[in-house]
Amino acid sequence: MSFFRYLLFPLFLIPAAQAQQLLLGFDAESSAAQRALEAEFDSQLSASELDEWLRVLSREPHHVGSAAGRAVVDFVAERFREWGYAVEIAEYQVLFPSPRIRELELIAPDYYQATLSEDSLEADPSTFRTNGLLPPYNAFSVDGEVEGELVFVNYGTPADYEVLDRYGISVEGKIAIARYGGSWRGIKPKLAGEKGAIGTIIYSDPADDGYGAGDTYPDGPYKHESGVQRGSVMDMPTYPGDVLTPFVGATAEAVRLAREDAPTITEIPVLPISYRDALPLLAAIGGEVVPPQWRGGLPITYHLGPGPARVRMNLAFNWDMVPAYNVIARMAGSEYPDQWIIRGNHHDGWNHGAADPISGLVSLMAEAKALAALAASGQGPKRSVVYAAWDSEEQGLIGSTEWVEHYAAELDQRAVAYINTDGNSRGFVNIGGSHVLEKMINEVMNDVTDPQTGVSVGERRRARIEVTGSDAARAEVNNRADLRISPLGSGSDYSPFLQHLGIASLNIGFGGEGGGGSYHTMYDTYEHYTTWRDPGLVYGVTLSQVAGRAALRLANAPRLPFEFTGLADNIGLYVGELEELAENMREQTESENARIDSGVYELALDPTRSLGPPLRKPEVPHFNFAPLRNALDELSQAAAAYAAIAENGSAASERDNVLLYTSERELTRDDGLPGRPWFTHHIYAPGFYTGYGVKTIPGVREAIEERQYELVEEEIYTAAEVISGMAARVRELSQ
């Protein structure tokens, strides 16, 4: 029983108040015209059409290199052609490991052979369509047969290894078993390998992702006991994309690394398993009981090991070269055909891929169809719009990365912005992206109606923060004009655009009310999606409205809707965080070292157990943050000056529009981040030891976090330079 009804509000109402407001980059007349155009755009969207596409495209498992994958490509390309797009299939030859041998057995103290397979369920017919199904595995695990004792490493993060150190436990020569969560999966074998482990097993703990989270499939959306999260473990924080062709498109003729030399393949074999398979393994581990925060949801006492549980694991892969097909569909702009708004979503799935990625892809298709209908009635975009359906995202953003590397020079000149979507769900709008687009996308959020409540999706998100946010978040939502959008780390196809080329990007999706446990399992089916995640694809249409508006406004605005006060405000936040990080680390290191030296640990710890004191850490010096503060002041002043121009509705010159859309490039440096030159953006990057999680001002932040103190001030200088460069760019705009 619900205390208020599940209402579907009419989608096509324009609240009267909105109609009068100027859109960023538009004057009064063009704002009104744009809003009318958007209303017409909305009227083209059909939830039942999205639903039908979802059904068709998620019918079969369709990974890169598969026949079903090719069929998806052809279906999507054919639709784009029908709608009037110039379509090409951008093909790359990429290395694709698929499993040849997968064996895992507990050999002591008991014997258990892991099933490594997922159950077909009567309630979901899709789970019987297993032709071409990729079984559970981690792509870009190295081949290997290993045997050793198990050590439970919790999430396998750097902090977890510090805890193991305190217990005197090393994974050297052992096999680490880690649970999913706490970091991106690829970090787990990377760190375990760095620590000397000979293999890694990753499982989904039911406390995080199973019956602990909610009812399991098919009774609910959460992870079935046999469900396994597949996924890539390539070292994406070093570079994503084809492992053999960093920096260049993986065309047939590209120069390739030998596979042995590819630095993004793991050092040790790694295999994902279900919690059903994990139970006998974890139950067999002895040694110390885990600390309370490490407990999972299986009905056992968790222990750290090592042993007596011993496992043998044998993994071998087909290291095939396969074609990856990106569908690229262009609608030329009527006024600025060489300025491209790129809108992408991948099409490949680990299996049926209903949520991931088809739920996002069908929203993109609906947008493209609606845009084409507008164009057919003479209301085509002023700038070119490029729709892209990427292949092989799942193995490491491969299709998009290769395309971006292939066309880097052209994109550098022509790409105005990249708008990404991926899986979608019912709930609240989530937006990450470049903060030069924060104001524009806030206007969009305020103009799109939430289908369940009838208020704007922006207002619904504000309500969510009011109800569930921290006091600070509540205060911000009441005091800041715009909702703060998240900085982007990695995890989907925006990464090469934003972090390799410095193209302003957005990543858009809805979620929070469609429960999830199907991610990268065989249960990511049409039945699961339409029962639990977005019945009727209501939010599929809403996503089309948000992403479509973003694309249309970028395509048509007389002045590109870039804005810099939001950027300055967010960078100011990050600078403050860095100062606080250094300060807190300094205080904590000092006080913890003092405690260690004082001997209180020896007195306080249980002498019958092996937990020892923490290790002393190098104390944190004071850093000179002044260059960052000075650059930030420059940027804030320049942004304020430009804001007056941006808000007056005046059209921009072509020169100014080019200066606007290439402004994000100022935040990059050709030589990239320390140790990972592919990542050129100095404000946003995925964390080297978090994987997907973002690190803002990453050069500085990671140098502090990793206690590489000697790098910090150099990185502060570099970050200050890019911020100062952006300030100069903004001043140029105001002249």
Nearer to its own copies, 122 or 471 (CB): 471
Helix (H) / strand (E) containing 600: helix 600-604
- Which region among 129-137, 250-258, 318-326, 597-605 touches its own copies (by CB under 8 A)? 597-605
B/e letters for 416-453, b = 16+ CB within 10 Å, e = fewer, are bbbbbbbbbbbbbbbbbbbbbbbbbbbbbbbbbbbbbe
Write down the residue that tokens 């042993």 correspond to: 307
Minimum distance from residue 662 beta carbon to its own copies (Å) = 39
Minimum distance from residue 166 beta carbon to its own copies (Å) = 9
Count of residues of this chain found to bind its own copies when the rule CB under 8 A is applied: 52
x/- mask, its own copies, residues 451-490, rule CB under 8 A, reads: -xx-x---xx-xxx-xxx----------------------
Tokens of 215: 């009812």
Minimum distance from residue 330 beta carbon to its own copies (Å) = 39
Among 70, 595, 629, 707, binds its own copies (CB under 8 A): 595
Tokens of 567: 């950027």
**Under 8 Å between Cβ of 490 and 264:** no
Among 78, 88, 110, 215, binds its own copies (CB under 8 A): 215
Minimum distance from residue 65 beta carbon to its own copies (Å) = 38
- State in Å, rounded, how far the first CA of the chain is from the last one: 61
Nearer to its own copies, 55 or 595 (CB): 595
For residues 108 and 264, give the distance between their C-alpha atoms in angstroms, rounded to a whole number.
Answer: 33
Nearer to its own copies, 56 or 455 (CB): 455
Q: Which residues contact 672 (CB under 8 A, 6 or more apart)?
A: 678, 679, 680
- Could you tell me the CA-to-CA distances from 490 to 8, 178, 205, 236 in Å, in that order? 34, 21, 23, 8
Question: DSSP E strands: which ranges in 196-309?
Answer: 199-203, 231-232, 270-273
Minimum distance from residue 588 beta carbon to its own copies (Å) = 10
Write down the residue that tokens 């140098």 correspond to: 703
Nearer to its own copies, 168 or 196 (CB): 168
Among 19, 289, 615, 626, binds its own copies (CB under 8 A): 289
Nearer to its own copies, 62 or 460 (CB): 460
- Which region among 140-148, 319-327, 609-617, 693-701 touches its own copies (by CB under 8 A)? 609-617
x/- mask, its own copies, residues 292-331, rule CB under 8 A, reads: ---x-xxxxx------------------------------
Nearer to its own copies, 455 or 585 (CB): 455
Angle at CA of residue 44, ends 41 and 49, nearest 5°: 135
Q: Which of residues 147-206 bind its own copies (CB under 8 A)?
A: 168, 206
Q: Residue 546 half-sphere exposure, CB side, CA atoms within 13 Å? A: 29
Among 211, 526, 642, 684, binds its own copies (CB under 8 A): 211
Q: Which of residues 54-73 bind its own copies (CB under 8 A)?
A: none
615 binds its own copies (CB under 8 A): no
Q: Which of residues 483-542 bind its own copies (CB under 8 A)?
A: 513
Amino acid in position 446: N
For residues 653 and 646, give the distance between their C-alpha atoms in angstroms, rounded to a whole number.
Answer: 12
For residues 144 and 104, give the distance between their C-alpha atoms in angstroms, rounded to a whole number.
Answer: 12
Among 258, 472, 604, 644, binds its own copies (CB under 8 A): 604
Minimum distance from residue 469 beta carbon to its own copies (Å) = 10
Minimum distance from residue 484 beta carbon to its own copies (Å) = 17
Among 212, 280, 558, 576, binds its own copies (CB under 8 A): 212
- Which region among 55-63, 110-118, 375-383, 592-600 touches its own copies (by CB under 8 A)? 592-600
Minimum distance from residue 38 beta carbon to its own copies (Å) = 23
Minimum distance from residue 568 beta carbon to its own copies (Å) = 29
Among 598, 624, 653, 708, binds its own copies (CB under 8 A): 598
Nearer to its own copies, 174 or 346 (CB): 174
Q: Which of 65, 455, 92 is nearest to 243 (CA)?
A: 92
Minimum distance from residue 201 beta carbon to its own copies (Å) = 20
Cis status, amide bond into 614, omega within 30 of 0: no
Nearer to its own copies, 323 or 427 (CB): 427
For residues 525 and 133, give the distance between their C-alpha atoms in angstroms, rounded to a whole number.
Answer: 13
- Which region among 120-128, 184-192, 291-299, 490-498 touches its own copies (by CB under 8 A)? 291-299
Nearer to its own copies, 213 or 365 (CB): 213
Q: Residue 229 half-sphere exposure, CB side, CA atoms within 13 Å? A: 26
Minimum distance from residue 694 beta carbon to its own copies (Å) = 25
Q: What is the dihedral of CA 316, 321, 322, 326, to 10 degrees?
A: 120
- Could you tell me the CA-to-CA distances from 579 to 389, 593, 716, 720 in Å, in that order? 41, 21, 11, 14
x/- mask, its own copies, residues 427-446, rule CB under 8 A, reads: x-------------------
**Under 8 Å between Cβ of 115 and 226:** yes
2 binds its own copies (CB under 8 A): yes
Among 29, 122, 260, 606, binds its own copies (CB under 8 A): 606
Name the phi and psi angles at 276, rounded to 5. -65, -45
10 binds its own copies (CB under 8 A): no
Nearer to its own copies, 482 or 534 (CB): 534
Q: Which of 233, 283, 271, 240 is nearest to 94 (CA)?
A: 240
Minimum distance from residue 286 beta carbon to its own copies (Å) = 10
Helix (H) / strand (E) containing 376: helix 360-376
For residues 511 and 190, give the distance between their C-alpha atoms in angstroms, rounded to a whole number.
Answer: 30
Minimum distance from residue 473 beta carbon to its own copies (Å) = 13
For residues 394 and 327, give the distance between their C-alpha atoms in angstroms, rounded to a whole number.
Answer: 16
For residues 240 and 77, give the distance between their C-alpha atoms in angstroms, rounded to a whole number.
Answer: 25
**Under 8 Å between Cβ of 384 and 333:** yes
Angle at CA of residue 395, ends 229 and 118, nearest 5°: 25
39 binds its own copies (CB under 8 A): no
Helix then strand count (H, E) for the chain reads 23, 16
Minimum distance from residue 683 beta carbon to its own copies (Å) = 31
Longest dimension (CA), the chain: 81
Q: Which of residues 220-249 bind its own copies (CB under 8 A)?
A: 220, 222
258 binds its own copies (CB under 8 A): no
Nearer to its own copies, 303 or 352 (CB): 303
Among 135, 214, 291, 307, binds its own copies (CB under 8 A): 214
Q: Which of 480, 485, 483 is nearest to 432 (CA)?
A: 485
Nearer to its own copies, 240 or 296 (CB): 296
107 binds its own copies (CB under 8 A): no
The residues binding its own copies (CB under 8 A) are 1-7, 168, 206-207, 211-212, 214-216, 220, 222, 289, 295, 297-301, 427, 452-453, 455, 459-460, 462-464, 466-468, 513, 595, 598-610, 612
